[in-house]
A = this chain, B = another copy of it.
Amino acid sequence: MGKTSAGNFFEDFSLGQVIRHATPRTITSGDVALYSALYGTRFAVQSADTFAQDIGYARAPVDDLLVFHVVFGKTVPDISLNAVANLGYAGGRFLAPVYPGDTLTAVSEVIGLRENSNGQSGVVYVRSTGFNQDGTEVLDYVRWVMVRKRDPKAPVLETHVPTLPAALAPDALGNAVPALDVENWRFELSGSPYRFSDYSIGERIDHVDGMTVEEAEHMVATRLYQNTAKVHFNQYTEGAGRFGRRLIYGGHVISIARALSFNGLANAFHVAGINGGRHVAPLFAGLTVFAWSEVLDAQEISGREDVGALRLRTIATKDQPCAGLPAKTGDDYDPSVILDLDYWVLIPR
């Protein structure tokens, strides 16, 4: 098995380690079309070159979450092939626009390590950064993941739990968005009249619509991102596993929830930052995803008159419409909840 990669185990990681990931990927209009057809996104900026150019983009930028998934996918063979669980995200920033034709690469730095008390596994914290062909950072984010040890007896030399921000500061947002001519934003074309000032902190929005997921769809999506996590693809193995079936990539759920959120947030055109996120429960094919959002914060960005930032908490459920805004009771999530995501979006002022 010498030439086959079995991925890294917990004891293979060291603090400060920098891993340059394979495989570079040129994002094309083909990837964009497929992403659009997988989720049915309707945000005008990403859908139409004309709309994007009218407000100041060079052309329609690639959907932020497609960029995220492609960068994330590159990290999987090195970081999480032997993961037990993907535990969380923090400090995700979109730093430059990505256009079709750009080529993405990814690098991760190990910023934290903590062995679990059972000695069977440990938590690895990495900051992963995506670059375009010019070496410009387009995205960085921290994730932490529980990774199995190859050998439970392997000594663990280092322990460090990094301090992570609870949320990005508003002024850290917006680097991926050029200065916009908001007067050219045509609200009849974008699908909603509501702008920054129309949203208030504490406002809750049921996104109403539901989307059922099929095996062929989530596998096509996950392969589009060159994400190789075995649990998504291999029914032979997973059929004998804990759930008896393939798990759906958590990022697929994020993209479904984002697409559903158009109904209520049509002008929130840009995911500017990911403060935190938790995949509360697994999703399986045949189930239907619903979502609702709460406005956690609304902030202006220093030096920008064009856009404001809404901090959203979006909750996605399976087989549970969200009119009742299902979330947590005490520490316990409603059993329908699969995703609890805290992120910033930008919206015209």
Interface residues of A (CB under 8 A from B): 1, 3-6, 20, 22-26, 28-34, 36-40, 42-44, 47-51, 60, 77, 100-101, 103, 105, 133, 188-192, 194, 198-199, 205-212, 214-217, 219-224, 226, 228, 230, 233-237, 246, 263-266, 286-288, 290, 319, 321
Contact = CB atoms under 8 A, between A and B. Distances in A.
Contacts of A319: 236
Contact of A29 (B6, B29, B133, B246): B29
Contacts of A105: 189
Ordered nearest first, which 5 A-B pairs have the shortest CB separation?
A: A30-B33, A22-B191, A40-B223, A24-B48, A236-B288
Contacts of A265: 3
Contacts of A47: 23-26, 226
A40 B249 CA distance: 14
Given A3-B198, A214-B216, 6 more contacts: A3-B265, A22-B190, A30-B31, A40-B222, A209-B230, A209-B234
Nearest to A20: B188
Copy number in the complex reads: 3
5 contacts: A1-B205, A29-B30, A33-B224, A40-B233, A216-B216
Nearest to A24: B48
Contacts of A31: 30, 33, 36
A260 B119 CA distance: 32
A220 B36 CA distance: 9
A78 to B, nearest CB: 10
A3 to B, nearest CB: 5
Contact of A216 (B3, B215, B228, B230): B215
Nearest to A293: B3
B221 A235 contact: no
A265 B189 CA distance: 38
Nearest to A286: B235
A223 B29 contact: no
Nearest to A266: B22
Nearest to A3: B264
